[in-house]
Amino acid sequence: MASFKPYTYFQCPCTDTNLPPRRLGESRPPSSSSETEQEDDRTFDPRAPRANFSLYPLEHLLYCEDCHQIRCPRCVLDEIVTWYCPNCLFEVPSGVIKSEGNRCTRSCFQCPICIAPLSVSSIGAPPEGLGAEYVQPSGPYVLNCAYCMWSSKEIGIQFEKPNGIYAQLSKVKNGGTPVITPKERRKDREERSRDASVPMVMEEGISEEGEESVNLDAHEDLDAESQFANLKAFYQSQLAEASPASALGFTGGDYGYGSPGALSRIMGLYTGSNFADKRSKSKTGTMREAQDALEGLQLCNTASDEETIARLRNEGYENTASVAQLKEQTHPAHIHSVDDLRPIAYLLRTKRSKRCKTCRHILSKPESKVQTTRFRIRLVAPSYIPSISIRPLATSQNFLLTPFKPTQFVLTFKNPLFDRVKVSIATPGTTPGRFESRVTVLCPQFEVGANTDAWEEALREGAEREKRRTKAEASEGQLQAEAGKVWERGRNWVSVVVEVVPTSLRADVLMKEEDRGPVREDEDVVEIPVFVRVEWEAEGQGDDTVVGEGGEGG
Amino acid sequence: MTSKRAAKGEYIETDTGNKVSRRSQIIGTTNIILGGKTVIQAEVIIRGDLLRAHQNSAEKQGSPVAVAIGRYCFFSKGCELRPPGKVYKGWFSHYPLKIADHVFIGPSSVIEAALIGSHVSIGANCTIGKFAIIKDYVKVLDGTVVPPNMVVPSFSIVAGRPGRVVGEIAEGEVEGMDLREVYRGIGNG
Ligand SMILES: [Zn+2]
Ligand SMILES: [Zn+2]
Ligand SMILES: [Zn+2]
Ligand SMILES: [Zn+2]
């Protein structure tokens, strides 16, 4: 650790629970005897595994004016204001999200190899001759990655038009063979059912004449979407056959699942005949399962597994898709080779407002338009809670601590409020954990001035900085901080000195035998829990408490 | 460049409050717009000479713009601003690089973006690829390579090679992206 910058985090109290903390790597559970006793003088342990989920920089926190409490991402509720594509920045209405899903359906794609954005370019011969620069380039078009130079040509995919790539891509498989659309499948299904002279189920919008009918193979290898479409169609037809006319006269189709007839039949399955009439009861036994690919059945094919293994052997590691690449694919189940990867349509992003989980008041609300960065409501912790920063007292000093050498740090509290605040701080005498460093706050109680207006600030600033500098220079030679006195003070800020006597990280000299062992992760960082109480009087009342925590290098 | 010159002070302050290091390399100054109160540190390279190849309306508008920079920007030591270039309709040409207000560029980063919005902080040793568009309130972490043509929406944190959005800027971080204080801290003192 060559350099280390001391930092401060704030603990959000929403994670306070009665569960005793348990440290990682500790085999024996903490004694649960005097739990109620512990409750009162229990101090926050920044090393507890749970602490990871409650410590935040002040800027990451919101503030609820009604609860007088800081709010972290765990104790706010998110509400989506706007969906948009992070690439083309077009807003997507929530109705479209429901029908089309959570990806951009325009032409926004990411590289399946390296995740960089893909751009559309023409691979047609560039126009030549006089006035060539005024001619639009012609197709065909491909998706190109300008980062790793991948092209959709590598998976045999080209496009006729430079726009609407999402729709064009959904019609073609890797290698260039067209995808049989659900509509074509439906048509084929209907023809079959007509041939088999089974009463046909009418679905909306079927009677388009003149379309070429596709004859489907009953042993076809289906992709995930077609399989789902086939299964769905099959089960819907099963339901429709099982209850040809429900009480309200719906004839199967999309209404099959939710119809009162189907519901009462399902209820009847478990509760006896109360809910079901005789007719539907007699039908319960007639459902069957899918029997071939046309109905969505895919047999496990051992030969194709062997084929896959042979392919992995032949093509080697470079042509095998990585876990990271598969993770980005929408249907990763049967993909092994990089040739099977598809361009990734951009996942949509959201603008969200945030509510207090306790009182449901809105804490933050962005403007709904994608391109604006303004907020309608924005109650952030830094405008309510004094910021706390930490730095070594000696400016020339290395940030790393030396065991047993007392080191002084300056804690600076800056008040954002227009009222004076009273601050009390407390630390345990030694830091929690196996390696106990001694900590002393030289001035545990002080007042911080109000944050007066900006004009006054501008006028005073020059003088203040001057004062700070001379003080720092004066102290450079003899590092003396007096107990009970603040170190420095400004208009709306106060600095106090904290002295740390770091301990040695030699685990073999620890008193308790069960504590001995190698240094675990992050144990070489001194973490000091600091309890901070801030009181102020505004409109006759108001008081607030915060627990802050400082980390220091070691 | 020489110690004799440096004795005058590291920065030249312009009428609009720009603080420009004597050891920076600004090429094609007539094609560069500086909004004011911008800091340009030593060894920074700004390529104002990389102009559009065929300016159709250049005669009407006066001198063409290659790099436009807003107010309170900070260009750290050794970073480079290059207008992006590409072949369009059979011709290679450069296109303007626009940088809005309160933009921080870390040391040794190379910027070939088309647009960098306001309140953007780019770390050290980053590469911002050709024609990238970075919207307002974005942080690009150290060592990131933002691929060419990438669009980074507002309130994003970008990292990695190639860069991708790894997080969001919290509501409370907005004030911290103002660079006025940083500007005041720079001087010949
Ligand atoms: Zn919380
Ligand atoms: Zn899009
Ligand atoms: Zn790529
Ligand atoms: Zn609340």
Please provide the DSSP assignment of chain B as one string.
--HHHHTT-SEEE-TT--EEETT-EEE-GGGEEEEES-EE-TT-EEETT---SS-SSHHHHSS--SEEEEES-EE-TT-EE---EEEETTEEEE--EEE-SSEEE-TT-EE--SEE-SSEEE-TT-EE-TT-EE-SSEEE-TT-EEPTT-EE-SSEEEETTTTEEEEE--GGGSGGG--HHHHHT-S--
Q: Name the closest residue on chain B to residue A137, using Cα atoms.
A: B89
Residues of B in contact with A87 (CB under 8 A): 151
Helix (H, G, I), strand (E, B) or coil at A306: helix
How far is CA A240 from each of CA A198, A257, A285, A295, A522, rounded to the nearest angstrom? Answer: 12, 9, 14, 15, 63
Give the pLDDT mean for A412-436.
Answer: 87
Mutation for testing the A interface, residue in B92, B128, B171, B173 having most A CBs under 10 Å = B171
Contact between chains at A132 and B90 (C-beta distance less than 8 A):
yes
Give a yes or no: residue A121 inside a domain. no
Query: Is the minimum CB–CB distance between A483 and chain B shorter than 8 Å?
Result: no
B189 located within any domain: no
Judge: B153–A84 Cβ closer than 8 Å, yes or no: yes
Distance A70 CA to ligand 4 centre (A): 9
> Which of residues A264, A286, A310 is at a domain's end?
A310
Question: Nearest-CA distance from B108 to chain A in Å?
Answer: 20
Q: The tokens of A182 are what? A: 């659900």
Q: How far apart are CA A500 and CA A441, in angstroms?
A: 9
Lowest mean pLDDT among A65-79, A162-176, A237-251, B32-46: A237-251
From chain B, which residues contact A within 8 Å (Cβ)? 89-91, 129-130, 135-137, 145, 147-156, 162, 164-165, 170-176
Per-residue pLDDT band for A512 (boundaries 50, 70, 90) equals low
- What is the radius of gyration, based on Cα positions, of chain B? 17
Residue A89: which of B150, B151, B165 has the nearest Cβ?
Answer: B151
Tell whether A481 is covered by a domain: yes
**For residues A231 and B168, which has the higher predicted lDDT (pLDDT)?**
B168
Pairwise CB contact (< 8 Å): B170 & A60: yes
Is A2 an interface residue toward B (CB < 8 Å)?
no
CA distances from A198 to A190, A235, A237, A279, B10 (A): 10, 16, 11, 20, 90
Taking the Cβ of residue A12 and every Cβ of chain B, the question of whether any pair is shorter than 8 Å is answered with: no
Contacts of B172 in chain A (CB under 8 A): 58-62, 380-382
Answer whether B148 sits within 8 Å of A146, measured CB to CB: yes
Closest CA to B121 of B108, B140, B147: B140
Q: What is the pTM of this model?
A: 0.81
Return residues with CB closer than 5 A to ligand 1 (ion): A 12, 14, 72, 74-75
CATH code for position B135: 2.160.10.10
Integer angstrom CA distances of residue A255 from A251, A280, B56: 7, 16, 62
CA distance B43 to B22: 9
Domain assignment present for A96: no
Q: Are residues A405 and A529 in the same domain?
A: yes
CA distance A188 to A172: 19
Kindly list the residues from chain A whose CB atom is less than 8 angstroms away from the CB atom of residue B92: none
Tell whether A382 is within 8 A of chain B (Cβ).
yes
- Residues 361-380 (A) with a CB less than 8 A from some CB of B: 364, 370-371, 373, 375, 378, 380
CA-to-CA dists, residue B181 to A6, A104, A207, B121, B185, angstroms: 21, 40, 70, 15, 6
Q: Is residue A239 part of a domain?
A: yes
Which residues face A535 on adjacent strands?
A422, A543
Mark whether A405 and A268 lie in a shared domain: no
Considering the domain architecture, whether residues A447 and A534 belong to the same structural domain is answered as yes
pLDDT level of residue A553 (50, 70, 90 thresholds): very low
Pairing between β-strand B151-152 and β-strand B91-94 as defined by DSSP bridges: unpaired
> Measured between CB atoms, which of B137, B149, B153 is closest to A119?
B149
- Please give the average per-residue pLDDT across B165-185, as a whole number: 94
Most confident of A201-215, A421-435, B137-151: B137-151
CA B86 from chain center: how many Å?
A: 19
Q: Which ligand is nearest to the CA of A145?
A: 3
- Nearest 5 degrees, angle CA A44-CA A47-CA A50? 75
- According to DSSP, the residues that pair with A69 across neighbouring strands are A64
Amino acid at A3: S
- Dihedral sign from CA coordinates of B78, B84, B87, B93: negative
- Which pLDDT belongs to residue A160? 92
CA distance B25 to B41: 10
Final residue in a domain of this structure, among A254, A276, A310? A310
Higher pLDDT residue, A333 or A125?
A333
Pick the residue with more confidence: A7 or B151?
Answer: B151
Lowest mean pLDDT among A25-29, A63-67, A77-81: A25-29
Which of residues A310, A343, A377 is at a domain's end? A310
pLDDT of A527: 85
Q: Are residues A302 and A393 in the same domain?
A: no
Residue range of the domain that includes A259: 194-310
Which one has a higher pLDDT value, A480 or A197?
A: A480
Q: Please report the pLDDT score of residue A107 as a whole number.
A: 95
Q: How many angstroms separate the CA atoms of A54 and A154, rounded?
A: 47
- What residue type is A319 in one-letter code? N
**Nearest CA among A429, A415, A467, A424 for reference residue A443:** A424
- Indicate the pairing of strand B91-94 with strand A141-145: unpaired
Distances in Å between the Cα of A70 and the Cα atoms of A10, A28, A86, A526, B11 are 9, 34, 30, 25, 44
Six-digit token pair at A219? 């042993």
> Are A381 and B172 in contact (CB < 8 Å)?
yes
Q: Which H or E element spans position A501?
A: strand A493-501
User: Is A134 in contact with B89 (Cβ distance < 8 A)?
Assistant: yes
- Of the candidates B130, B149, B153, the beta carbon closest to that of A349 is on B153
Token pair for B73: 């920007």
Q: Is the pLDDT of residue A519 over 80?
A: no
Per-residue model confidence (pLDDT) at position A520: 72
Distance CA A423, CA A446 (A): 6
More confident residue, B1 or A181: A181
Which chain B residue is nearest to residue A353, measuring alpha carbons? B171
pLDDT of residue B113: 97
Spacing, Cα B145 to ligand 3 middle (Å): 13
CB contact under 8 A, B171 and A62: yes
Q: What is the pLDDT of residue A18?
A: 45
Inside any domain, residue A506: yes
pLDDT at residue A32 greater than cutoff 50: no
- Nearest residue of A to residue B136, measured between CA atoms: A373
Q: Using the mean position of ligand 1's atoms as its centre, give its distance from the Cα of residue A71 in Å.
A: 5
DSSP A417: S
> Chains A and B: how many Cβ contacts under 8 Å?
78
Residues linked to residue B32 through DSSP beta bridges, in sequence order? B67
Judged by average pLDDT, the poorest of A163-172, A206-215, A290-299, A370-379 is A206-215
In a domain, A346, yes or no: no
Note residues around ion ligand 4 (Cβ under 5 angstroms): A 64, 66-67, 356, 358-359
Domain that holds residue B159: 15-55+63-183
ipTM of predicted assembly, 2 dp: 0.91
Q: Average pLDDT, whole number, for chain B?
A: 91
Contact A137 B89 (CB under 8 A): yes
Average of per-residue pLDDT across A514-541: 74
Listed residue (A166, A60, A110, A81) closest to A370, CA to CA: A81
Interface of A with B in 312-351 (CB under 8 A): 349
- Rounded to the nearest angstrom, the minimum Cα separation between A3 and chain B is 16
User: Do the chains contact at B151 and A364, CB–CB below 8 Å?
Assistant: no
Whole-angstrom Cα Rg for chain A: 34
> Does residue B23 belong to any structural domain of this protein?
yes
- Whole-angstrom distance, CA of residue A415 vs CA of residue A490: 10
Q: How far is the CA of A108 from the centre of ligand 2 (A)?
A: 5
Structural domains counted in chain A:
2
A375-387 confidence digits (pLDDT tens): 999 999 999 999 9
Q: What is the mean pLDDT of residues B155-178?
A: 95
Judge whether B3 lies within some domain.
no
Nearest to B172 among A60, A88, A134 (CB): A60
pLDDT over 60 (residue B150): yes
Task: Kindly state whether A133 is in contact with chain B, defined as any CB-CB distance less than 8 angstroms.
Answer: yes
Percent of chain A topping pLDDT 90: 30
User: Tokens for A365?
Assistant: 């609300």
Under DSSP, is residue A41 helix (H, G, I), strand (E, B) or coil? Answer: helix
Element (H, E) at A538: strand A526-538
Taking Cα atoms as reference points, which of A96, A90, A99, A101 lies closest to residue A345? A101
- Identify which of A62, A86, A134 has the shortest CB distance to residue B165: A86
The pLDDT of residue A85 is: 97
The 10s digit of each residue's pLDDT in B85-128 is: 998 877 899 999 999 999 999 999 999 999 999 999 999 999 99
Across the interface, of B135, B156, B172, the residue whose CB is closest to A382 is B172
Residues 142-161 on A with a CB inside 8 Å of B are 145-148
Distance from CA of A550 to the nearest CA of B (A): 19
Residues of chain A in contact with residue B147, where contact means CB-CB under 8 angstroms, are 114, 116-117, 145-147
| Structure confidence by residue, pLDDT tens digits, A463-491 | 555 455 445 444 444 446 777 788 888 88
Task: For residue B28, count other CB atoms closer than 10 A to its CB.
Answer: 17
| Positive or negative torsion for Cα A42, A43, A46, A52 | positive
Residue A285: pLDDT band (50, 70, 90) is: low
User: What are the tokens at B120?
Assistant: 């953007």
Q: Which of A58, A62, A116 shows the shortest C-beta gap to B150?
A: A116
Helix axes of A182-195 and A224-242: crossing angle, nearest 10 degrees? 40
Q: Do A59 and B173 touch (CB under 8 A)?
A: yes
**DSSP secondary structure letter of residue A84:** E
C-alpha distances out from residue A431 to A44, A463, A550, B183, Å = 10, 38, 11, 39
Rounding to the nearest 10 degrees, give the CA dihedral for residues B12, B15, B16, B21: -10
Instruction: For residue A34, report the distance from its CA to the centre of ligand 1, in Å.
Output: 27
Whether A78 contacts chain B with CB within 8 A: no
Query: With contact defined as beta carbons under 8 Å apart, do A375 and A364 qualify?
Result: yes
Count CA atoms within 13 Å of residue A101 on its CB side. Answer: 9
Q: How far is residue A144's CA from residue A346's CA, in Å, rounded to a whole number?
A: 15
Q: Does A511 touch chain B (CB under 8 A)?
A: no
C-alpha A84 to ligand 2 mean position (Å): 8
Strand partners, B138: B120, B156
Our count of domains for chain B comes to 1
